[in-house]
Amino acid sequence: MKIRTARAADAPRIAEIYRPYVEKTAISFEYEAPDADEMARRMAAVLKKYPYLIAEKEGRVIGYAYAGPFVGREAYDWSAEMSIYIDWNARHGGIGKALYNEMESLLKKMGVININACIGYVEEEDEYLNHNSVDFHAHLGYQWVGLFHKCGYKFGRWYDMVWMEKMLGPHPDVPQKLIPYPDLEKD
């Protein structure tokens, strides 16, 4: 398996991987799956400052992960929100862990200290949502920090949302200025 930075040419495959998460699950709270053009726009926006990584096996994209701003105000620069999606038929094979390990390494080099995950949640698992994402993040060292009750409505029912966080290092009295991901790649 190879992990690399996403390219515009990956957008159709990224859209294909994401589609079942929108159409068949409450993992994504979107109602309509974005097309390749929209995914390319989203990817380009992320890559202006943060990593957008692809896992590739035998030349085929099998998963992706990206970081983005947490809230979007300057004081939050040292925090990032994580997202990950694995090909429906390739889940539970270590791809997510490999992507997150690489992502954490890059974010740490950028100066990010807190990483956060916003995760759909339901007390009693149903056909659209289980606890796999929460369990995955907990396995990687994320801690549960918040629960928002019935804040997402999809498939005719209400879903909760949880926030989980992980610290990539200590919080200095004065943090270094954040290094945007494109500037990291030049090193």
In degrees and rounded to multiples of 5, residue 101 shows phi and psi of -60, -45
pLDDT over 80 at 18, yes or no: yes
What is the model's pLDDT at position 30? 97
How would residue 185 be classed by pLDDT, with cut points 50, 70 and 90? low
What is the model's pLDDT at position 167? 97
Q: pLDDT averaged over the chain?
A: 95
What is the model's pLDDT at position 160? 97
Angle at 60 between CA 142 and CA 64, to 5 degrees: 25
Angle at 91 between CA 108 and CA 130, to 5 degrees: 95
* Fold classified for 2-185: Aminopeptidase (3.40.630)
